Amino acid sequence: MADSDDDEVPMLPSAALLESRGWSRTLIKKHLDEPDLVKKRFKQPGVIHLFSLERVLDAEAQPTFQRDLEKVARRRHTGRQVALQRGEALQEKARSYEPQIATWLERATPKKILLCSLQGWVPNGSYATAQVPNLMTTNAEYLLRLARNYVRHECSDWDDTWTGYRGLPGCQESYDLARTKIDQAVDALLERRGVAKWLDERNK
């Protein structure tokens, strides 16, 4: 391994191997091991590991590498399929929360929904004597985001459902798919309940 600025030998960064040539970190370690050159990032912390293009091509031409590459591709394909199945299951659960969330929202005015989101209060709780943020000046987009997060976490079983998937292969992709679905449902219910309209008209 070298540590210099010599660019005469064509080099590939490890990120390019990972992203465009199908390599994994395990394949890099097994078939290339140490980088041929280490360079400091420009105006950023850390370093870039560079590998000789000739050495990369030689490794890719080996039958052992091709067999390992096929195994990695199969694992990635299986992982994507499992992630999609888990994502579909989570999305189905997210859709099932809509009546539960709608029932919760029907018991509160738009203002009370927002106050609950800011303070963590339940709709039937009393906030008359508490010191609360000024809802007349707080950014509307920020308040809507807080309301969405509050409703998702406090007014459904989302957290318990997601905990059952946490740590499983493909869980982040599953989370992203289902999180988008439940957020869309919550946004639609908040819109139907008139929360955005209340924020638009609060200073009129």
pLDDT, tens only, 173-190: 777 777 888 888 889 889
- Rounded Cα gap, residues 104 and 155, in angstroms: 7
> Which pLDDT score is estimated for 128?
47
The distance between the two most distant Cα atoms of the chain, rounded to a whole number of Å, is 74
What does pTM read for this prediction?
0.53
Task: Identify the weakest region by mean pLDDT among 100-109, 111-120, 164-173.
Answer: 164-173
Q: Are 148 and 187 in contact (CB under 8 A)?
A: yes
- Residue 30 above 90 pLDDT? yes
Query: Of 32-46, 132-146, 152-166, where does the model show the most confidence?
Result: 32-46
Q: Which DSSP string corresponds to 75-122?
A: HHHHHHHHHHHHHHHHHHHHHHTHHHHHHHHHTS-HHHHHHHHHH---
- Rounded Cα gap, residues 24 and 30, in angstroms: 10
> Which pLDDT score is estimated for 170?
62
Backbone angles phi, psi at 85, to 5 degrees: -65, -45
